[in-house]
Amino acid sequence: MLGAVCLVVLLGYAYGCGQPAVPPQLSSRVVGGVDAVAHSWPWQISLQYTRSGEWYHTCGGTLIAPQWVLTAAHCISSSLTYRVVLGKQDLTVDDEAGSVAVGVEKTIVHEKWNS
């Protein structure tokens, strides 16, 4: 019985996982690109590096847990300092409403990655 209760609770938690708070506008194909509805993909991040006091977007990534971002290994260089920006809609706007920048404390690159 306890197992069934645990299963129901876990399924309840998983039900909303990956569901955006703001519904995106989806179509069957991307032709020419269409801007996403602001904040409709809250797990999408902008990985940025600093050079000469300016921040530059280098890659996207996915927020997979409150303190963890997953991105491609080729996006990371040990010689650069990074930050993660959440809630970004327009990369040309520095202080965009609804976005927050967080410094990267640690990067982990898969040991079998060969650049």
For residue 33, name the pLDDT band (cuts at 50, 70, 90).
confident
Q: Which has the closest alpha carbon to 49: 8, 70, 78?
A: 78
Least reliable range by pLDDT among 16-30, 34-48, 99-113: 16-30
Least reliable range by pLDDT among 17-21, 76-80, 81-85: 17-21
Q: 47 pLDDT exceeds 70?
A: yes
Q: Which has the closest alpha carbon to 109: 37, 66, 59?
A: 59
Domain borders along the chain are 38-115
* CATH architecture, range 38-115: Beta Barrel (2.40)
Please tell me the distance from the alpha carbon of residue 44 to that of residue 60, in angstroms, as a whole number: 7
Mean residue pLDDT of the chain comes to 83
Q: Which has the closest alpha carbon to 44: 71, 80, 17?
A: 71
